Amino acid sequence: MPRYDLVDTNRHGTRCAGEVAADANNSICAVGVAFEASVGGVRMLDGDVTDAVEARSLALNPQHIDIYSASWGPDDDGKTVDGPGELATRAFVEGIKNS
């Protein structure tokens, strides 16, 4: 779950999850692209985020995961591009192959 603070530091992944799994016919606004999906949160952004931390987070309970979202990364300054490291990439691949 997100850690709420005055500047909403860790809100992006929560918003992305809502866009994926928002209930159909919810009388509010959105319908998620996978509206019958369940959402699980893994807190990994409150300390040093390393390739190993990302990989451990992505490998947690893969039997319950149908959709992976990499909704974190560097601030968007228009010139910085980053992606998952070697261990996190391997965790994504294993999660996909073993689902």
Residue 1: inside a domain, yes or no? no
Number of domains composing the chain: 1
Residue 41: inside a domain, yes or no? yes
Residue 4: inside a domain, yes or no? no
Residue 6: inside a domain, yes or no? no
Residue 62 belongs to domain spanning: 12-97
Q: Model's pTM, two decimal places? A: 0.70
Looking at residue 22, the DSSP 8-state letter turns out to be P
Residue 50: inside a domain, yes or no? yes
Kindly tell me if the per-residue pLDDT of 3 is higher than 70: no
Question: Which positions ≥6 away from 51 have C-beta within 8 Å?
Answer: 84, 85, 86, 87, 88
CA distance 54 to 45: 9
Kindly tell me if the per-residue pLDDT of 11 is higher than 80: no
Kindly tell me if the per-residue pLDDT of 53 is higher than 80: yes
Residue 31: inside a domain, yes or no? yes
Residue 52: inside a domain, yes or no? yes
Residue 59: inside a domain, yes or no? yes
